[in-house]
Amino acid sequence: MRFLRRLAYLLHRRRREQDLADEIAFHRELATEEHRAAGLAPEEAWRATNRQLGNTTLAREAAHQVWVPAALQGLVQDIHYAWRGLSRSKTLLAVACLSLGLSTGFGTALFSVVNAVILQPVSAQRPDALVRFWIGNGNRISWLNLRDLCDDTPGIACAGYRVDELPWQHGDDSARLFGQVVSVHYFTLLGVEATQGHVFTVDSVRQARDTVVATHAFWERQLGRDPHVIGRTLVLGGHPYTVIGVLPRGFRSIWGLGIAPSLYLPAGSAARPPTTRRADSEYELLGALAPGQSLAEFRSKVAARGEALRRLDPQQNQDFNRVQTFPFHTLGLFLSADDRMLQIILLFASVIVVLVFLLAVVACVNVAGLLVARAVARQREFAVRISIGCGRWRLARLLLAESLLLATAGVGLGAMASIWLARALVAVPLPFPVPFEAEVPLDLHLLAYLATLVGLATLVVGIAPVLQAFRVSVVGGTGSAPRAVGHRRWSARGVLIAVQVAASTILLVATTLFVRSLWVASRIDPGFDIAHVVTVEADTQSRQLTAAETSSFYRAAIDRLKGAPNVSAVSGAAIVPLSMDSIVHGVQIERGGRDQAMVNSNWILPDYFRVMGIPFRSGRDFTQSDLQAKPLAVIVNETFARSVFPGRSALGQRLRRPGPKGQEEPWVEIVGVVADSRYLTLGEDTRPQVYWPFGPQLGKITLHVRTEDDATALAAVLGEGLTGVDPRVHLRVRPLQAVMAVALFPAQAAAVVLAALGVVGWALTIAGVYGLVAYTVTRRIPEIGVRVALGAPPWSVMRLLLRDGLVIAVVGVAAGLVVAAWTTPFLSALLAGVSPRDTTSFCLVAAALVLTALVASYGPARRGIRLSPTEALRSE
Amino acid sequence: MGATERLPPGLPNGTVDLLILKSLAGGTRHGYAIAQYIRASSGDALELGESSLYTALQRLLLNGWVVDEWGASHNNRRARYYTLTAAGRKHLAAQTREFDYVVTAIQRVLRTV
């Protein structure tokens, strides 16, 4: 309340002061009247009143101070004064703002991008309650099972989903969309409502099946913010779909990392019609624990329902009473599926925060150096102030006010730059077709972070000049004593620069290590040859080719491709590794060390390993005769062979997909063992993998083409050779590298970010060292004059000046290296393939920084030796 | 020219505030009337100067113990009238008790031999 009244006073200050003046005037009139009534003459009465009541101005000031306490008034005065002082040295202001702005701007932008892309939870009312689960022997279940499991089963809240690329025809154009096919309960499970229209409900899908829910971004960018979007028709995969809803802005998909499918379609709609086989692998499952429900209860409910489904169709729903649950991380599926990835990403985020902090330190020390120099130059002024009665604390307060102003201006500038930079960064189109959406929040966290930064910067920047001020001697400072010619290398400013060089050293060592490690990581051998493969995907779906037509299209296409120039081999596979697509299921082993194993599967054509450059460890490739509806031969990878048949040869062993008793699938013989390769992510541990031959019918397949030349060049021309095969089919030809861009992107992005951090740190160091030497030269002008006058040759003066910067730089670098060597081992978890005390990185940084110091010193030093002795001596 | 303010030095803190609050306990008054009241009721022993009076009034306003209002005086001139608030009345009661307590205690000490 008092605060509010104070505020009201300040807002109406002029009127309140007038009130008081009027009131006092009234008081005096009455007093005068009283004196007159007592018999005094008018003049006399007036004088008596004034004598009695005293000084009006004093009264007014006393009243004013009731409302505005002296301390506050002093602060306002300080800031006002500091501003006047600073605005006179514009260069200092500009350099400080730039230095602080650059570091905080860049740092804050990174912080917000990391925050926006990684650290936002998926959109769900209770993300903690979500759980991933598998039922039966695989990670996916069929449409029929999905319906029977998730529709109207008491005690089980679950939904199915699968990612899907869909052709969208608008006008004459056809674009591929990244969509997600979900079961009816999906949005109810998440607890998400649409902002326009509505999401899928049991009723809405029953009434109209071919409907679609769009994301806000899709509505904004692709549909041009159409105000009448609800009810609009989109042609997807050749079928008309009606838009029924638009999701809220900033909706985070369950994938996390800002990955955002553009459209959601109901499972069983025209583009993804209901399948009739219960054994089909189609949808992955997401469950939600009801409030109060334990994971065990949920699992047993699902198992009971699974048992019913198994009894319904024992052959196809084998092992359906078996349920596995996996934790769902609130940051999204990508981080749930891969612990290592989660660890890496979170560590990466914390490393960014640490590096950004170091960068801020470097910048603050830079500005502190400038202020110390200023304080030294102002010694005379300080001395005068002190000698006429300014307390040292008051002087300190004044200097801190200057630092506060500088810090606020710098950080404010940085904050504005960062918002712009972060939005620009997030909007950079990604090198792969996965839609990506991240809101850069301008929230309290960010503001608190900025405020802390201002506070820290003020202290760090301000403390050194204050110490300097306390050392001012009144006698020496006012100039009545002779000034000493000479110079201390380890003045406050020298120490600051050494600290700055040390901080830069640590920053640069850390970033160099990371860039090197990411470089190594991005070159982690995926186990196959990325550079020489082109993939061909065909949209046979939009024009609704029959299964037979599709199959014959692919066969004809393969023949054409084999005859194309620069092509050395052609094959095909159901799944392109590292492209977000995966199929996991169980297999039975005939006489193995274990009788069950979970494997990653892929279906391939002969020559696949030749095309991909995956070497055979033993055995043979598939041949045309292996392509049968019931396969008789499979190929496994080394990890499978080693883990299932330890110490034995896997060749000749037999396995099969599980089936009910009496109706088992036939045993299939392992005919080949190939080297390991990555399947879902680059960072994963290699998993057991089984390659099955395609059947005689070719359905969902991506053709793989090998060239010994450049894949990108081949991709550009390969499409033309295929146009004649079937004019109805829309083709997409891309180098394998482009398909895998998703998997390669994080390492590349991280390397760019860290390199940029390093460059900014470096630039600040150069500025700091340059400033130091320039300043030293100015301070030593008289000394240089004396030396030159006494006959010192220019090179010796040059050496003298360079040595200053160099000694400080070497000490700083040495200290930095020691601290870095001590701290970097803590980062070893993040440094794949690089030792945390990697000698090359350390030497490189040390050499680079010392060289930087030399170069930065050279400019000012040259100015020093060009001084004429008379000029130099006159300045004293 | 010094103000002829007649207040004994070394009064406990807040005495002026207490006197002003007391003078308003009887009803709304303007500044001059407050000064007159205090002079008259103290038998001309206490006289508030302009500075102490109006600074104290500002302090009372800030604390919300009094509210002000401009009105017409008896000779039909604009005057600023102060009124005790509920919070002010409570404060007055509490301060009066405390003052009594302190004064009694001091007197007791002074009367011992």
Q: What is the pLDDT of residues A538-568, one digit of tens each?
A: 877 666 778 888 888 898 899 988 888 889 9
Nearest to A329 by CA among A321, A320, A338: A338
A95, A531, A581, A772, A855 from A254: Cα distances, Å: 45, 32, 16, 53, 52
Q: How far apart are CA A142 and CA A179, in angstroms?
A: 19
Contact (Cβ atoms closer than 8 angstroms) between residue A289 and residue A298: yes
Cα–Cα distance for residue pair B93/B98, rounded to 1 Å? 9
Sign of the Cα pseudo-torsion (A150, A152, A157, A159, in order): positive
A625 touches chain B (CB under 8 A): no
Q: Tell me, what's the ipTM?
A: 0.87
CB atoms closer than 10 angstroms to residue A514: 27
User: Which of A120-129, A436-445, A606-615, A811-820 has the weakest average pLDDT?
Assistant: A436-445
For residues A86 and A405, the answer to whether their CB atoms sit within 8 Å is yes
- Torsion sign (Cα): A116, A118, A124, A126: negative
Tell me what pLDDT residue A590 has. 82
CA A709 – CA A329 distance, rounded (Å): 43
pLDDT score, position A831 = 67
Q: Mind listing the pLDDT tens digit for each residue in A577-589?
A: 877 677 788 888 8
- For residue A30, the chain B residues in CB contact (below 8 A) are 32
Matching residue, tokens 């902090």: A357
Of residues A126 and A679, the one with the higher pLDDT is: A126
**What is the tens place of the pLDDT at every residue in A507-539?**
888 878 877 776 666 666 778 888 889 999 887
**In the predicted structure, residue A622 carries a pLDDT above the cut 50:** yes
Per the CB < 8 Å rule, is B50 touching A20?
A: no
Extract the tokens encoding B43.
Answer: 């038998």
Q: Phi then psi for A619, rounded to 5 degrees?
A: 80, -160
Q: What are phi and psi of A534, to 5 degrees?
A: -115, 135
The answer to whether B88 contacts chain A (CB < 8 Å) is no
Answer whether residue A734 shows pLDDT above 90.
no
pLDDT at A485 over 60: no
pLDDT tops 60 at residue A487: no
Q: Name the residue among A473, A57, A830 with its Cα closest to residue B55.
A: A57
Q: Give dist(CA A242, CA A272) in Å, integer.
A: 15
Residue B104, chain A, CB below 8 Å: the answer is no
pLDDT given at position A484: 47
How confident is the model at residue A839, as a pLDDT?
Answer: 85
- Say if the Cβ atoms of A31 and B32 lie within 8 Å: yes
Concatenated DSSP letters of A793-853: -HHHHHHHHHHHHHHHHHHHHHHHHHHHHHHGGGGGGG-TTS-TT-HHHHHHHHHHHHHHH
Contact list in B for residue A63 (CB cut-off 8 A) is 54-55, 58
Q: Is B112 exposed, middle or buried (0-12, 13-18, 19+ CB in 10 A)?
A: exposed
pLDDT of A482: 44
Place of tokens 């990890």: A639
DSSP H/E element including A560:
helix A547-563
Under 8 Å between Cβ of A425 and A738: no
Query: Which residue does chain A place closest to B35, by CA atoms?
Result: A27
Partners of A56 on chain B (C-beta within 8 Å) are 50
Question: Residue A330 has what DSSP assignment?
Answer: T
Contacts of A28 by beta carbon, 8 Å cutoff, 6+ apart: A49, A50, A53
Nearest 5°: the CA angle A591, A594, A598 is 115
- Among A206-215, A410-419, A722-731, B1-10, the range scoring the smallest mean pLDDT is B1-10
Is residue A151 pLDDT above 90, yes or no? no
Whether chain A has a CB inside 8 Å of the CB on B69: the answer is no
**Chain B residues with beta carbon closer than 8 angstroms to that of A52:** 3-4
The amino acid at residue A142 is: S
Show residues of chain B in contact with A68, CB under 8 Å.
none
Kindly report, residue by residue over A328-357, the tens digit of the pLDDT. Answer: 888 887 776 666 666 666 767 777 777 777
Give the amino acid at A378: R
Mean pLDDT of A75-104: 79
pLDDT at A96 over 50: yes
Contact A163, A321 (CB under 8 A): no
B25 to chain A, closest Cα gap in Å? 21
CB distance A542 to A167 below 8 Å: yes
Residue-level pLDDT at B2: 37
Amino acid at site A226: D
Instruction: pLDDT band for A705, please (50, 70, 90 cuts).
Output: very high
Which residue carries 């039922």 as its tokens?
A135
Q: Are β-strands A633-637 and A668-674 bridged in parallel, bridged antiparallel, or unpaired? A: parallel
Structure confidence at residue A713 as a pLDDT band (50, 70, 90): confident
Spell A231-248 as b/e; 16+ CB within 10 A means b: eeebbbbebebebbbbbe
With contact defined as beta carbons under 8 Å apart, do A268 and A143 qualify? yes
How many CB pairs below 8 Å do chains A and B form together?
A: 73
Using a CB–CB cutoff of 8 Å, tell me whether B79 touches chain A: yes
The residues in A 394-433 lying below 8 A from B, measured between CB atoms, are none
Chain B: nearest CA to A41, how far in angstroms? 20
- Do the chains contact at A58 and B51, CB–CB below 8 Å? yes
Residues A818-848 pLDDT 10s: 988 888 777 666 666 677 788 888 898 889 8
CB A533 within 8 A of CB A735: yes
CA-to-CA distance for B82 and A20, rounded, in angstroms? 13
Three-state secondary structure string covering A596-651: EEEEEEEEECCCHHHHHCCCEEEECCCCHHHCCCCCCEEEEEHHHHHHHCCCCCCC
Helices and strands in chain B: count of H runs, count of E runs: 4, 3
Interface test with B, best of A10, A19, A26, A68 (most B CBs within 10 A): A26
pLDDT in tens, A655-673: 888 766 666 778 899 999 9
Tokens describing residue B93:
């009661």
Residues of B in contact with A9 (CB under 8 A): 62
Residue that has been written with the tokens 């279906």 in this structure: A603
Put simply, the answer to whether B63 touches A67 (Cβ < 8 Å) is: no
Query: For A732-736, A747-751, A872-876, B14-18, which range has the lowest pLDDT when averaged over its residues?
Result: A872-876
For residue A58, the chain B residues in CB contact (below 8 A) are 51
- Across the interface, do A26 and B30 touch by the CB < 8 Å criterion? yes
Looking at residue B1, what is its pLDDT?
34
**CB-CB: which of B55, B63, B64 is closest to A62?**
B55
Contact A10, A66 (CB under 8 A): no
Residue A474: what pLDDT? 61
CA Rg value for chain B: 15
The enclosing H or E element of B102 equals: helix B86-111
Rounded average pLDDT over A139-148: 88
Residue B77 has its nearest CB partner, among A20, A26, A51, at: A26
Nearest to A130 by CA among A300, A285, A283: A285
Dihedral sign of CA atoms A635, A637, A642, A647 in order: positive
Q: What is the pLDDT of residue A789?
A: 79
Pairing mode, if any, of strands B78-84 and A130-135? unpaired
pLDDT, average across residues A149-153:
82
Interface test mutation site (partner A, options B1, B4, B50, max chain A beta carbons within 10 A)? B50
Give the A window 11-50 contacts with B, CB below 8 Å. Answer: 19-20, 22-24, 26-27, 29-31, 50
pLDDT of residue A481: 44
Beta bridge partners of residue A597, listed in sequence order: A587
Provide the percentage of residues in chain A whose pLDDT is more than 90: 14
- Cα A54–chain centre separation: 69
pLDDT at A187: 92
Closest-CA residue of chain A to B68: A19
More confident residue, A79 or A875: A79
The answer, for A66 touching chain B at a CB cutoff of 8 Å, is yes
Residue of A nearest to B31 (CA): A27
Residue from the list B31, B55, B64 with its beta carbon closest to the beta carbon of A23: B31
* DSSP-based three-state secondary structure for B69: strand
A42 Cα to chain B: minimum distance (Å): 18
Distance (Å, whole) CA A193 – CA A202: 15
How far is Cα A309 from Cα B87, in angstroms, rounded to an integer?
75
- Shortest CA distance to A155 belongs to which of A328, A288, A307? A288
Residue A733 has pLDDT above 50, yes or no: yes
Q: Which residues of B touch A66 (CB under 8 A)?
A: 55, 58-59, 62
Burial of B76 (0-12, 13-18, 19+ CB in 10 A): exposed
Q: Which of residues 18-47 of B touch A (CB under 8 A)?
A: 30-32, 35
Q: Which amino acid is at A487?
A: H
Checking if the pLDDT of B3 tops 90, the result is: no
Q: Residue A95 is encoded by which pair of tokens?
A: 């350099």
Span B38-66, pLDDT tens digits: 889 888 888 887 778 888 898 898 888 99
Q: Are A132 and A328 in contact (CB under 8 A)?
A: yes
* pLDDT tens digits along A459-478: 777 777 777 677 766 655 54
Q: What is the mean pLDDT of chain A?
A: 81
Task: Classify residue A163 as left (phi > 0), alpha (psi -120 to 50) or beta.
Answer: beta
CA nearest to B51, candidates A24, A646, A490, A769? A24
C-alpha to C-alpha distance for A418 and A570, rounded to whole angstroms = 49
